[in-house]
Amino acid sequence: AQTVTQSQPEMSVQEAETVTLSCTYDTSESDYYLFWYKQPPSRQMILVIRQEAYKQQNATENRFSVNFQKAAKSFSLKISDSQLGDAAMYFCAYRSAREAGANSKLTFGKGITLSVRP
């Protein structure tokens, strides 16, 4: 079974600064997807960024980028130019890339609470 570990329960960053959120995972599969989701107090999970395991290039979405280290099974999220609206819980998640169906479920880490200081 796959596991996702987020060992930092909380982090804080100054507005306009950069912060990195850590995530490690364990799997015996070679092909999979990794995601970062944001969950504000409204509870709505919002996809921030995804990474396909077969791609060596790290994914980037505007101020958000990842550092994907497949051999180390590490998947960290970097937020640049942090904004007050970035304050939320962030979850790292894993999904198998085998055929759609039973393997499509997401396995989440425990999450990290990010606060942004004005």
Of 43, 69, 42, nearest in space to 56 by CA? 69
Q: Between 61 and 100, how does the x/- string for binding to other proteins read (CB under 8 A)?
A: ------------------------------x-x-x----x
In terms of CB distance, is 16 or 47 closer to other proteins? 47
Q: Please give the full DSSP string across 56-105, using - where no structure is assigned.
A: -SPPEETTEEEEEETTTTEEEEEE-S--GGG-EEEEEEEEE-SSTTGGG-
Written as six digits, the tokens of 60 are 């980037």
Written as six digits, the tokens of 118 are 């004005």
Choices 13-21, 58-66, 80-88, 103-111 (CB under 8 A): range interacting with other proteins = 103-111
Q: Between 25 and 54, how does the x/- string for binding to other proteins read (CB under 8 A)?
A: --------x---x----xxxxxx--x----
- How many residues form the binding site for other proteins (CB under 8 A)? 25
Query: Is 101 near other proteins (CB under 8 A)?
Result: yes
